[in-house]
Structure 1
Amino acid sequence: MVNIRLGPPANSWAVSTNHVDLRRPVPPSRVVTLVARPQRITVDLARCALVVVDMQNDFCHPDGWLAAIGVDIAPARRPIAPLRRLLSWWRSGGSAVIWLNWGNRPDRANLPPGVLHVYDPDGSGGGIGDVVRPGGSPTLQAGSWSAAVVDELKPEPSDVYVDKYRMSGFFDTPLDSVLRNLAVTTIFFAGVNSDQCVLATLTDAACIGYDVVLLDDCAATTSPAYCHDATVYNVAQCFGFVSTSDALMGGA
C-alpha cells in the first residue's frame, strides 16, 4: 500500500516498499475573482503565494538602519496594518506565505562592490554588515535583529523564509525552487521598497513565467511618491496586475 508521501503537499510522491505513485495531489481549488488593473482577474489561491519583501527591522523599525541614517520610515510602515489583516485571512485558506528579506553573510563574501555601494556610497562605513548605532546589530545580516521581520507582522512556523542578497529575490537564492516545489503559478507581492526590491523581484518573476499581482496598499517606498506611482503604472502596463488586499479578501 502506498501510504507515505515525500515532498510538500502540492508536489509529493506517495511511496511504499515496492511502489511509487508519481501523480501529484490536486489541492482543492479556492477561486477568487477580484478587481484589478488593467482588468479583473480570477485566481486559484491554492496555486498562489504571498511574497512579502523586506518588511524587516532595518527598514521598518524606528531603531533600524534607515531611521538611524535619517530616513523617514513612516512610508515603510504603512503596509503593516493592511498586511496584518491580509495575513490572517490568507493563512486561514492554507496558501503559502514567503518572507523575502535581505539576510547577508557576515563576511559579505558574495556581495560585489555595486551592491555594497548602495548602502555605503562614500565608503565611510555604516552599510551592510556594519553597526550604525550603539548597541545595534549588523545591518541586514542574516540571523540578526536588523534582518528580522518586524514584530507587528508575527511570522508563523508554517511560513517560508528566503534570504536575498540583491534587489531581486531570485538571483542567487532558492526562491524559484521553493515556489515551484509549492506548485505556485501566481505570486501576490507586498512589502518595501515598492520601486526597488519589490519591483525587481516582481519583474524577474514575470520574466520567468509566473503570474504577478502587486498589492498596492501592502507595498510602499521611502522614495518620493512618484516612484511608487510609476511602479504601479509599469506593473499594470508591462508585467501583470495591480490590486489591493481589500479587493482580494472581498472577492473570496
Structure 2
Amino acid sequence: MPDTALIVIDMLNSYDHEDADALVRSVEKALPGIRTLLERARASSSPVVYVNDNFGEWRSHHGEILDAALAGRHRHLVEPVAPDENSLFVVKARHSVFFETPLAYLLGELKAERLVLCGQVTEQCVLYSALDAHIRHFDVVVPKDAVAHIDAPLAEAALLMMSRNMSAEVCTVEDVEFNG
C-alpha cells in the first residue's frame, strides 16, 4: 500500500455562519468516524494534516484558528478532533486544500501517495480537494461516514462524482487502512 496521509478538512470551525445548523447535524454524525480515523492514523504513525479555512483572518495561525473554534457555540464538535502535538497544519483561504497552499510540497516531503480525506463540507471543500488531489496523481479515499454536509442530495452527488470522475475510493471508515 502506498504511504498514506490523513487530511482533516475544516474541522476547526466556530459554526458561526448561515448554514451552520444543517452542518452541525451532519458533523455530529460524522464525528465518530473522524475520531476513529485520527486514532488509527496516529497509531500507525501515518501523517495527520489539518487543512483549515482561515475565515478571512489573514493574520491567523493554527493556534488562533483552534482557539476561535473552541470559543464558538459548538465546542463539543471541535474538542474531540483537535490537533495533537504531532499534527501538521496548513491554512487555506479557498475551498480546495491545495489551492495556493504548500500542501502538495508537504505531501511530497512526507512521500504520501494516498490521501484519506475527512471533514467538511462534502459537497464543497471535500469535493474540490478530491479533484485537486486526483489531478496531482494522488490516490484518494473518502470514507462517507467521516465527511459532513450541508445539503444531503448534493453530498450524495459529490460522493458519486468523486468515485466515478476522480477514481476515488468511497468507502466507510471500517474499510480504511493506514500504514506508517
TM bracket (short chain): 0.7 to 0.9
1:220 is displaced (CA, Å) by 1.6
Aligned to 2:12: 56
* RMSD over aligned Cα atoms: 2.3
82, 88, 93: which one aligns with 2:39: 88
Map 1:209-248; keep pairs closer than 5 Å: 209-223=137-151, 225-239=152-166, 240-248=168-176
Q: State the distance in 1 between where 2:133 and 2:171 align.
A: 17
Any gaps of 5 or more consecutive residues in structure 1?
1-42, 59-63, 109-140
Residues 104 and 222 of structure 1, relative CA distance in 2, 3 Å threshold: closer
More helix by share: 2
Q: 2:68 aligns to what?
A: 146
Name the CA shift for 1:104/1:228 in 2 (closer, same or farther; >3 Å). Answer: closer
CA–CA distance in 1 between the matches of 2:33 and 2:140?
19
Alignment of 1:112-191 (within 5 A): 142=61, 143-144=64-65, 145-147=67-69, 150-191=78-119
Indicate how the Cα distance of structure 1 residues 215 and 105 shifts in structure 2: closer, same or farther if over 3 A, else same: same
Q: Deviations 1:163-202 (Å, cap 9, x if unpaired)? A: 0000011111111111110000010111100110011111
Report if aligned partners of 1:49, 1:188 keep a CA contact under 8 Å in 2. Answer: yes
- Report the identity percentage: 27
Give SS of 2:145's match.
strand
Unaligned runs of 5+ in 2: 71-76
Find the structure with the greater CA-based Rg.
Answer: 1
Structure-2 change in CA distance of 1:146 and 1:187 (3 Å): same
Conservation of the 8 A alpha-carbon contact between 1:79 and 1:219: yes
Q: Does 1 or 2 have the higher relative contact order (CA < 8 Å, sep 6+)?
A: 2
Pick closer, same or farther for the CA change 1:69–1:218 going to 2, 3 Å. closer
2:116–2:140 contact (8 Å) kept in structure 1: yes
Change (3 A) 1:230 1:69: closer
Local SS of the residue matching 1:191: strand
Partner of 1:19: none
Q: TM-score, normalised by structure 2?
A: 0.83
Query: How many aligned positions are there?
Result: 167
Moved more, 68-77 or 233-242: 68-77
Q: 1:206 aligns with which of 125, 129, 134?
A: 134
SS of residue matched to 1:212: strand
Which of 60, 67, 71 pairs up with 2:21? Answer: 71
For 2:176, what is the secondary structure of its paired residue? helix
